[in-house]
Amino acid sequence: MSDTRADLHTVLNPATAAPVTDVPLASTADADRAIESAHAAFPAWKALPPGERAGLLRRFAAVVDAHVDELAGLEVRNAGHTWGNARWEARNVRDCLNYYAGAPERLFGRQIPVPGGVDITFHEPLGVVGIIVPWNFPMPIAGWGLAPALAAGNTVVLKPAELTPLTALRLGELALEAGLPEHVLTVVAGKGSVVGERFVTHPLVRKVCFTGSTEVGKRIMAGCAEQVKRVTLELGGKSANIVFADADIDAAAASAPYAVFDNAGQDCCARSRILVERSAYDEFLSKLQPAVEGLRVLDPGDEASEMGPLISAQQQATVTGYLDEVEVAFAGSVPGGAVADGFWVPPSVVTVEDPATRIWREEVFGPVVAVMPFDDEADAVAKANDTEYGLSGSIFTTDLGRGLRVARAVEAGNLSVNSHSSVRYWTPFGGYKQSGLGRELGPDAPMAFTEEKNVFIAH
């Protein structure tokens, strides 16, 4: 790889805009070498006895666990995440590795009754899997892909986002330290237009996992179609938080900021639309305001911080562009002092009556939430479903029958009643409509990295 400046990316601390380090960017030739090396490592990894593969994943988890604070510190500096979030994210990688360490010995096939013989099925790994990770959750999303893919017997080439490569690069080093064979997990830092594009076009990559924007996901899906290449897409969201008048309004208002302003709103599951039953609308807003204004927006290096900065100046400009089009009802604060030059936007609330308003319809990906009243259950469901996205959402009500009924009616992949939970590694995660294709996590995730083979043996 060339040492010229053109091949380096300067990683910035989003809280201060100060440089953290320079990271070399891979060329197409570098990507090809990584893919070819992963392909060469695949037969031995596939042939490894399931218990040994499981043991290596558990050792990898233990090494990650021993480096949680180091990984979290990197993410605080590289992605602007709060310490609390960053520690959770590092531990989530550990937990995913431990969870999927149970899979190699449980990739069961079936015996299917047929006349004239015995019929059995096998789940066999695909080969090289290319995983493209976004900048908003660099560690967890890497773990959600690499852990089940490795457990199923595939080798993985992982491309972190150009803006946030540091924790993924460190995870690649820790995998080798744990004893994973060389080239079973390879981390390649580079541009999406170079490395990510090569995952799509290289014939030795048998599956691409992409998390990012719907626009880019569509291009990846179209590219993979050329080779009938498997693809999993986790894309955008514009999730609704539906609050009925019979809900605990205090609890709903107190929790709503954390459902949208976590990670400064840079979360595809963010409940960026709040729908409130009209009879409770004014009360909800009156209680939401102090909850938003009380959010601790601090330097993410401060252990007390509950919200950090946006990832980049470009993202800051995008978000403020949306806010410039509307009147902000109320907002929180941003820090000054040493971090005043960072990419900060205050947590902001707007009220909306017209569902055609851009801030109501488009994924802002920042600390902005729009609030709209609804009249009855049917109106709530209609407004929640009036979007091209369908990733997540919440329903607040004390009527659990209604909660289940509305959860079944909302067109989204991950719904919570009286909660804002979206992602657990024990349960499947993915979206309806233009929020994605396929599912990640849960007990069946390794199956998505396999081919099912059927074998008939005549009597």
The residue type of 58 is: R
Residue among 347, 169, 194 at smallest CA distance from 271: 347
Q: String of b and e for 196-235 (b: at least 16 CB within 10 Å)?
A: bbbbbebeebbbbbbbbebebbeebbebbeeeebbbbbbb
* Calpha distance 22→164 (Å, rounded): 11
Does 268 participate in catalysis according to the annotation? yes
Does 234 participate in catalysis according to the annotation? yes
Of 89, 162, 234, 363, the active-site residue reads 234
Centroid of chain to Cα 42: 26
Of 96, 209, 224, 268, the active-site residue reads 268
Residue 160 makes CB contacts below 8 A (sequence gap 6+) with 133, 138, 142, 167, 168, 169, 187, 189
Tokens of 206: 């048998």
Q: Is residue 9 exposed (0-12), middle (13-18) or buried (19+ Cβ within 10 Å)?
A: middle
Can you say whether residue 251 is alpha, beta or left, with left for phi > 0 and alpha for psi between -120 and 50 degrees?
alpha
* Calpha distance 449→232 (Å, rounded): 10
Angle between helices 68-79 and 50-66 (to 10 degrees): 70
Question: Which residues are marked as active site?
Answer: 234, 268
